[in-house]
């Protein structure tokens, strides 16, 4: 990320590292660092851990009085939070909000809005109800077609493989087999990176070699030895520093362990302390290697890494193809791969742009894909509508720092519009240490961290329809009211009679209707959408890979919806 401006530099420290990290900073072409700042948080819908971290990050941001607007995908119009703010027992509101969050009936952003929004901090939904409804309709029309279209794709791919075997020259055939094995989840990311780097022109290529460096450094680590040396180093240091310094050291270690600070910063500071105390660092070679590994890992940017890999793969195919027939089959294979992802609702934004480009549009299509294409076109239309709605809300009153929460698929299109309008944008991604395949987040391509430093590398978020971030208004209000004991419940019934009567009537609706305040969209529960609370969400198969770290230093598995494979 480039050196941020003054506003960004003041905001970044307010969000503890345990909740995530600022991934990039975008500034308007004028370069005006005094322009209003938008903190764009990339949502990971229906992932409890991500929702909690988004909520934590938002709670930290909302304590800054300069934050005057919180805008959310999946909601519509002004969100009035005054009624719940009037409840006498905010501890009950917090408990019910926590319960709803744990059941995926409320987003982390909505919880933060309920509990931390202050006077002067507006909360608005910036989604467009017409495009949102059209997006839902496009899914409902396309989803039943999936099995038949997938079967035809499989038939075409079988035919493609037969023709490639007959036409490809030996080096091209070998490279293509390795790429297809990676796409099927049969080989690791590390193997794939080495394959696309082989004989490549490395001019301007930085992230892929850095990744292999970090991977090689990780293989050299013996964490048992690192642990022993760390214990010995800390024991020696504790004997040579004061009581207050020991207390500070313990606090720093706990902060690094919890993720509140970066591990690389802790070990850099620890090395300085040892030098000042006269402790010879040469006695701890494993610790030195571990610190170097941390430094390498911190420099890996996932978005840039996967962009490089895509470019390297394309360059390798161009280099190895010798005839027009080979090049034509390579193009057909690429389009077939994109079409398979289209039908699985697992295209990233870059992949959708590639699929919908004039170059691909001129290729012979596949019957039945039009409905799936409409799903993505409506999502793209929502990008434009959300950006326009957000900019309209941003112009109301004096805005210094604004916060926007949308899914990562929408980030590129929306950020482009916001920067063009003259705003600075700081993109924040929540920390994600595990992938919940059954909770709708397996569409991510991520590296995840538990105790390792490779915090989160994202290739791109697949389109995942955001449910309304706020819970069923009536159900939430009724739950809060019902949580008041005895006497207080009677007081509540006197203080808020109309509210409770309305809540009781709506919460018992036989249709599972989500009723919102004026200006929002009422959705009905539909069993085909896989929603457990009346919100609209899509649970679907994904081929995107992710790497899960399960011990302090080792990349243990590359988790895939179809397979589990190592990264090395």
Q: Is 35 helix (H, G, I), strand (E, B) or coil?
A: coil
Specify the range with the lowest mean pLDDT, choosing from 167-171, 214-218, 468-472.
468-472
- 33 compared with 300, residue with greater pLDDT: 300
pLDDT for the residue numbered 139: 87
Give the range of the structural domain holding residue 504, as residue numbers without chain letter.
6-136+379-434+468-509
Task: Give domain status of residue 86, yes or no.
Answer: yes
- 65 compared with 336, residue with greater pLDDT: 336
pLDDT mean over 356-369: 72
Task: Give domain status of residue 250, yes or no.
Answer: no
Which token pair is 437? 């395949």
- 421 compared with 468, residue with greater pLDDT: 421
Residue 358, C-beta contacts closer than 8 angstroms, at least 6 positions apart: none
- 465 compared with 66, residue with greater pLDDT: 66
Bridge partners, 124 (sequence order)? 71, 78
Model confidence at 319, pLDDT cuts 50, 70, 90, reads very high
pLDDT value at 433 more than 70? no
Task: Give domain status of residue 102, yes or no.
Answer: yes
Highest mean pLDDT among 120-134, 163-177, 464-478: 163-177
pLDDT for the residue numbered 43: 87
Model confidence at 470, pLDDT cuts 50, 70, 90, reads low
Q: Which strands form 555-559's sheet, in the order they lie side by side?
A: 456-458, 446-448, 546-549, 555-559, 564-565
Model confidence at 454, pLDDT cuts 50, 70, 90, reads very low
Q: How many domains does the chain have?
A: 1
- CA dist 133 and 556 (Å) reads 41
pLDDT mean over 172-176: 96
Model confidence at 168, pLDDT cuts 50, 70, 90, reads very high
pTM of the model: 0.68
Specify the range with the lowest mean pLDDT, choosing from 170-174, 193-197, 252-256, 376-380.
252-256
Task: Give domain status of residue 331, yes or no.
Answer: no
Highest mean pLDDT among 29-43, 53-67, 484-498, 530-544: 53-67
Helix (H) or strand (E) holding 122: strand 122-126
- β strands within 180-273, DSSP E: none
Task: Give domain status of residue 78, yes or no.
Answer: yes
Task: Give domain status of residue 326, yes or no.
Answer: no
Residue 371 sits at φ, ψ, to 5 deg, of -65, -40
- CA dist 246 and 241 (Å) reads 7
pLDDT value at 245 more than 50? yes
- CA dist 10 and 123 (Å) reads 22
The 3-class secondary structure across 345-397, one letter per residue, is CCCCHHHHHHHCCHHHHCCCCCCCCHHHHHHHHHHHHHHHHHHHHHHHHHCCC
Is the CB of residue 160 less than 8 Å from the CB of residue 272?
no
Task: Give domain status of residue 393, yes or no.
Answer: yes
Residue 239 sits at φ, ψ, to 5 deg, of -75, -15
Contacts made by residues 287-292, CB under 8 angstroms, sequence distance 24+:
287/226, 287/229, 287/230, 287/233, 289/217, 289/220, 289/221, 290/221, 290/226, 290/553, 291/264, 291/267, 292/217
Q: How far is CA 228 from CA 225, 253, 284, 501, in A?
A: 5, 16, 9, 64
pLDDT mean over 107-117: 84
pLDDT for the residue numbered 523: 25
Helix (H) or strand (E) holding 257: helix 243-258
Is the CB of residue 27 less than 8 Å from the CB of residue 7?
no
pLDDT value at 410 more than 80? yes
Model confidence at 531, pLDDT cuts 50, 70, 90, reads very low
pLDDT for the residue numbered 117: 74
pLDDT for the residue numbered 181: 94
- Cβ-based burial of 324 (10 A; exposed 0-12, middle 13-18, buried ≥19): exposed
pLDDT for the residue numbered 46: 75
Task: Give domain status of residue 557, yes or no.
Answer: no
pLDDT for the residue numbered 243: 86
Model confidence at 68, pLDDT cuts 50, 70, 90, reads confident
pLDDT for the residue numbered 462: 54
Specify the range with the lowest mean pLDDT, choosing from 19-33, 232-246, 316-330, 373-387.
19-33
- Cβ-based burial of 305 (10 A; exposed 0-12, middle 13-18, buried ≥19): buried
Could you report the per-residue pLDDT of 29-54, keeping only the tens digit for each?
766 667 788 999 988 877 888 889 99
pLDDT for the residue numbered 535: 31
Residue 226, C-beta contacts closer than 8 angstroms, at least 6 positions apart: 286, 287, 290, 552, 553
Helix (H) or strand (E) holding 68: strand 67-72
pLDDT mean over 182-202: 90
State percent of the chain over pLDDT 70.
70
pLDDT mean over 220-240: 89
């Amino acid at each position: 990320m480039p050196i941020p401006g003054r506003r960004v530099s003041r905001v970044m420290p307010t969000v503890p590292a345990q909740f995530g990290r600022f991934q990039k900073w975008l500034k308007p072409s004028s370069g005006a660092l005094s322009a209003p700042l938008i903190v764009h948080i990339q949502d990971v819908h229906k992932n409890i851990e991500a929702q909690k971290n988004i909520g934590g990050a938002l709670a930290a941001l909302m304590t800054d009085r300069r934050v005057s607007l919180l805008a959310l995908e999946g909601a519509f119009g002004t969100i009035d939070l005054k009624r719940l703010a009037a409840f006498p027992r905010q501890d009950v509101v917090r408990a019910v909000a926590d319960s709803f969050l744990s059941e995926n009936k409320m987003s982390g952003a909505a919880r933060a809005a309920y509990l931390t929004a202050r006077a002067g901090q507006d909360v608005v939904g910036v989604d467009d109800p017409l495009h949102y409804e059209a997006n839902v309709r496009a899914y409902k029309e396309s989803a039943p077609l999936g099995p038949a279209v997938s079967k035809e794709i499989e038939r075409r791919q079988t035919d493609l493989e037969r023709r490639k075997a007959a036409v490809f020259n030996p080096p091209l055939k070998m490279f293509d087999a390795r790429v297809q094995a990676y796409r099927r989840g049969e080989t690791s990311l590390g193997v794939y990176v080495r394959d696309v780097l082989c004989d490549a022109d490395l001019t301007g290529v930085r992230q892929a070699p850095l990744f292999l460096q970090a991977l090689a450094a990780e293989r050299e680590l013996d964490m048992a030895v690192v642990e022993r040396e760390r214990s010995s180093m800390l024991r020696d240091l504790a004997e040579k520093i004061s009581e207050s310094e020991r207390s500070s050291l313990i606090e720093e270690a706990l902060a690094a362990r919890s993720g509140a600070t970066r591990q690389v910063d802790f070990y850099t500071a620890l090395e300085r302390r040892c030098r000042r105390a006269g402790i010879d660092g040469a006695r701890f070679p494993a610790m030195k290697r571990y610190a170097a590994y941390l430094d390498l890992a911190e420099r890996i940017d996932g978005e840039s890494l996967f962009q490089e890999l895509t470019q390297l793969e394309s360059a390798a195919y161009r280099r190895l193809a010798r005839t027009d027939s080979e090049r034509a089959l390579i193009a057909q294979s690429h389009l077939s791969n994109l079409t398979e992802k289209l039908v699985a609702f697992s295209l990233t934004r870059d992949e959708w742009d590639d699929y919908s480009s004039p170059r691909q549009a001129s290729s012979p299509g596949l019957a039945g894909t039009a409905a799936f294409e409409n799903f993505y076109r409506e999502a793209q239309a929502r990008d434009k509508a959300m950006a326009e709605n957000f900019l309209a809300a941003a112009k109301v009153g004096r805005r210094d720092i604004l916060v926007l929460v949308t899914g990562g698929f929408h980030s590129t299109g929306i950020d482009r519009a916001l920067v063009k309008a003259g705003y600075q944008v700081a993109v924040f991604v929540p920390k994600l240490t595990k992938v919940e395949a059954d909770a709708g987040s397996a569409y991510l391509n991520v590296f995840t961290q538990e105790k390792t430093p490779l915090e989160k590398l994202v290739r791109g978020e697949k389109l995942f329809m955001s449910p309304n971030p706020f819970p069923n208004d009536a159900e939430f209000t009724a739950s809060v009211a019902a949580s008041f004991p005895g006497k207080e419940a009677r007081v509540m019934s006197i203080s808020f009679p109309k509210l409770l009567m309305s809540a009781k009537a709506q919460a018992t609706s036989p249709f599972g209707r989500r009723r919102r305040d004026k200006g929002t969209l009422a959705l009905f529960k539909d069993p085909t959408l896989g929603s457990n609370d009346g919100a609209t969400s899509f649970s679907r198969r994904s081929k995107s890979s992710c790497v899960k770290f399960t011990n302090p230093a080792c990349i243990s598995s590359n988790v895939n919806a179809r397979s589990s494979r190592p990264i090395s």
